[in-house]
Amino acid sequence: MEIDGTRAGIRRRAPQHGEYDTEILSDLPPLAGPSTANSPQANPVRRRPLDGIRVLDLGVIVAGGETGRLLADMGAEVIKIENTAFRDGSRQSMSGALITPVFAWGHRNKKSIGINLRSPEGRTYIASLVEQSDVVLSNFKPGTMDKLGLSYRELSRINPRIVVADSSAFGNSGPWNARLGYGPLVRASTGLSLAWKYDNDNGGFADASTIYPDHAAARVSAIGVLAQLVRRLRTSRGGTVSVAQAEVILAQHSDLFASASVRIGAEPDRGTGSAPSGLYPAAGTDEWIVIDVRDSDDWERLAKCIGSIELVSDPRFETAAKRLEHRSELDAVIENWTRSRSPRAAVDLLQENGVPGAMMLRLPELPGDPHLQARQTFRVARHPLIDRLLPSENTPAHFENIPDVELRPAPLLGEQTREIASTLLGLSDEDIDRMIAAGVLEEELPPTDTDNRSVTNY
């Protein structure tokens, strides 16, 4: 992440044990009684932390759109800026539906105004919105916002307190900055596609099954926006946040780079350095469990769990190095045990005996999983144009004095155009009608009973 054009992250080396004891202890305030400032009694009104913050969201698809959604979930008024000439890709549907499940999930709690940003009037309106807002989000190819007259230099001239956040595949500088980049390209370019494959499996690529790192990059962007808003409390000035989605992946590989650097010529460890460790077939069709033995204690507990304690003293398996050497023989023993048990029964027994193990769950199974239900990980969302309930992510953390997220439906394109044009742009009904007729402002109306654009085929 870059903050105001400067790389954020490394500030100092990792500390020695107790290195900063004196500095930290000398700065501690005197002990006092327990504070009641944040108690439910002191603050009876449960507000969300971003209440009063207004965000102009030009983000699209997932990485851009989700950044705005995360801020909206925490109370910000998020206004999606869009138009029919460049429709958000997650709105597009083979059936012509006005709202898709992906859009409904990823853009909840937002408002939408349709503006032609290439028209003189549209640029005037966006400038007025910037003047009244706190944050601007985008995830276009670098240079697009500049061409639209929406560079940070221009926006900060209008509103010095504005925070401008952008996210792109490879960042806004460097030889690759102008490259087109979607999830598969980013993953391949950062080594992740190869890391998701066993060395001896030539046909094991499954890279197209995910859109990573879009969701992770959105969360990094949101953290950067929050950091700028916190700093603005001290300085009264805004700033920029720039996230390269490729570097979100690279940052999560940094420990592998560090370990590989001390073993000249070695490739990063891809997690196959212990045995037994990996996927094992369970009873049933295409059912699997994962077992990960970390050390000799885990190995002894596993051997006891599967009723083969004699394996611990077997010369082939008595050390970690020998277990790796005889990995195929050991895997055959483990597999013989796992195949005779259902995934849940096997994992329950492993966990009861202190062995790291987990069952493979499929996506449709997750909302109904007892553990996730107990933690309220998912909630059921409704949208008036979708004919079924949508499992939807709840807040990533539950707070004592902050309510869980609202689930207001994602908007149609320009659904709040009239409201925003009236309340924030000061336009009369006649002016709004005239601008819509001229194509400067846009609104999509909800379908009628005879309209076939509602969602029926998902």
Residues involved in catalysis: 214
Q: How many angstroms separate the Cα of 207 from the Cα of each of 197, 203, 204, 212, 447?
A: 9, 11, 9, 9, 38
**Ranges assigned E (strand) in 308-422:** 357-359, 378-381, 390-393
Coil, strand, or helix at residue 116?
Answer: coil
Nearest to 129 by CA among 143, 112, 142: 112
Radius of gyration of the chain (CA): 27
How far apart are the C-alpha atoms of 167 and 177, rounded to whole Å? 11
How far apart are the C-alpha atoms of 440 and 434, rounded to whole Å? 9
Report how far Cα 433 is from the mean position of its chain's Cα atoms: 38
How far apart are the C-alpha atoms of 226 and 231, rounded to whole Å? 9
How many C-beta atoms lie closer than 10 Å to residue 173's C-beta? 12
What value, to the nearest 5°, has the Cα angle with vertex 83 and ends 456 and 54?
A: 100
